[in-house]
Structure 1
Amino acid sequence: MAGNLIEFKDVSFRYSEQDPWVLKNVTFTIKEDEWVAIIGHNGSGKSTIAKLINGLLFPQEGEILIGGKKVTEDSIWDIRKDVGMVFQNPDNQFVGATVQDDVAFGMENRGITREVMVERIQSTLEAVGMSDYQFTEPHRLSGGQKQRVAIAGVLAISPRVLILDEATAMLDPNGRKEIMQTVSQLQSKQGLALITITHDLQEVVQANRVIVMNKGEVWKESVPREIFTEKEELRKIGLDVPFVTTLADALKDIGVSISKEPLNHEELLEELWTLHLRT
């Protein structure tokens, strides 16, 4: 059984003494190999949590532990070796003249030897399907390709935690699907803790667990299927539910007996097919 890698203990945060609290007494844990989706309306505190994990911000109250180590100004450089973040706009993360240079940047800052850097550049670009673009200038890439390179650059530092902060928001549906398939495979293969902060419900249903934020507090945390049974309550706090669950409710209203809450079209079709065979 994997142990806790990330621990938030009664964490509260605000940007200044005059501002309202962005987070209020937030407590949760994330295990070493777990995929957790953090969702909530705009301003609920999702991105603030990501910045606190990475040490871009520090809590005024409570404490945060990464791998048992408390996040402080003294420990932050050690913490950042374990935490990698990919943001919404990949252009904000590019610093190299070529894809290869960009992937190498984080490793250079950590003093990784050239031999190791060369191997990791090749292996991470291969992992995200970008080996053929090693010497390409980043501005020549599509949005999805840029995000793949940004992910490769983060993976190259061998983090224990990968945070995607709305990292697929600027991509089209196919681009989002491809990126999340890649990330899911990498997370499973490398045993990373994966945190996705997203509005994309298809990403949410793939996670092992969901933390729902509302007005700076943890509103609920559970597996996706249980979260999306709370349809009306989710809508009340400004969140939507997957279309397939709305469709399943409509079918129930006209007398179709669906035994479990479907999370995707495949599950709904399987339920309907099983029902058909019974009749």
Structure 2
Amino acid sequence: MENKLIEFRNVSFRYTDEQPWVLKDCSFTIYENEWVAIIGHNGSGKSTIAKLMNGLIFPQKGEILIGDKIIDEQTVWEIRREVGMVFQNPDNQFVGTTVQDDVAFGMENRGFPREEMIRLIDESLSAVGMEKYRLTEPYRLSGGQKQRVAIAGVLAISPKVLILDEATSMLDPKGRLEIMETVAHIQTERDLSLITITHDLNEVTQADRVIVMNRGELWKEGTPREIFTEKASLRQIGLDVPFSSTLAEELRRYHIPIEKEPLNHEELLEELWTLHSKM
């Protein structure tokens, strides 16, 4: 993760001159092949960051680089081939009458040769486990299947970055788990950078790094374990922490020496087993 892929340099943004700044002097870097989770309470600026990365909006102050290119009106279409985005509601992204038509749409707009489109449709649907549904009408799919197709449509244009903007929030826990397992596999297989904007703590704990936003400013960044050690501070800005971390905090109050901050119940059980073995 040594090569910079996305860089925000003192970026500020507001939607109208009459409104307050949604982002204020925001600077951070995301590297190649890195999984970064961006979290924050509603209105903290995290979805605005996603739109800025994809060139859907442009900053009023500062600059954003994708690779060595600054995002502006001249580079935006080139940038969008590098940065793919999946939104909360997949229905808003469907334009084709069948699954394969929908996956082909982005490639058609970019002038991909037909033979390459056919190959990429096959590869992308196979990557998300939807190859059997290529002739199905999108409205007949379940919510999880729709998100898989939306992800396939983005993958088909071979981006360097995949952004999931609350893309699992409308799914049940099983659907969320399946989508994130698929995405994690794709990231490894294709050497993608993955950016997840989410309230799901399970997604956050899987990331390489977490960026915490608060009132339009970068509040803190670090590994999930580093971030979730700041339990009291996170709660003060309206964020939750994993149940396993909360339980470990309670156990410490009863003088049970949980040293490593557990990110899930498996890690907590391992810590307790290690303590038991030493007794």
Provide Cα deviations, 1:59-95, integer angstroms capped at 9, x if missing partner.
0000000011000011111111101000000000000
* 1:126 counterpart = 2:132: no
Write the letter of the residue equivalent to 1:118. Answer: I
Q: In structure 1, what is the equivalent of residue 52 of structure 2?
A: 52
**What pairs up with 1:21-40 in 2 under 5 angstroms?**
21-40=21-40
Q: In structure 2, what is the equivalent of residue 18 of structure 1?
A: 18
Q: In structure 2, what is the equivalent of residue 139 of structure 1?
A: 139
Q: Check whether the contact 1:85–1:154 (CA below 8 A) recurs between aligned residues.
A: yes
Provide Cα deviations, 1:30-55, integer angstroms capped at 9, x if missing partner.
00110000000000000000000000
Q: Check whether the contact 1:11–1:24 (CA below 8 A) recurs between aligned residues.
A: yes
* 1:115 counterpart = 2:105: no
Give the SS at the match of 2:12. Answer: strand
Q: In structure 1, what is the equivalent of residue 43 of structure 2?
A: 43
Q: For the residues of structure 1 that align with 2:145 and 2:137, how far apart are their CA atoms?
A: 11
| Alignment gaps of 5+ in structure 2 | none
Give the SS at the match of 1:125. Answer: helix
* 1:170 counterpart = 2:170: yes
* 1:254 counterpart = 2:275: no
1:16 is displaced (CA, Å) by: 1.3
Q: Once superposed, which parts of structure 1, at least 4 consecutive aligned residues long, lie more than 6 Å away?
A: none
* 1:95 counterpart = 2:108: no
Q: For the residues of structure 2 that align with 1:153 and 1:227, how far apart are their CA atoms?
A: 33
Q: In structure 1, what is the equivalent of residue 156 of structure 2?
A: 156
Q: For the residues of structure 2 that align with 1:18 and 1:89, how far apart are their CA atoms?
A: 29
Q: For the residues of structure 1 that align with 2:3 and 2:223, how far apart are their CA atoms?
A: 18
| Alignment gaps of 5+ in structure 1 | none
Between 79-88 and 1-10, the greater mean CA deviation after superposition: 1-10
Q: In structure 1, what is the equivalent of residue 67 of structure 2?
A: 67
Q: TM-score, normalised by structure 1?
A: 0.99
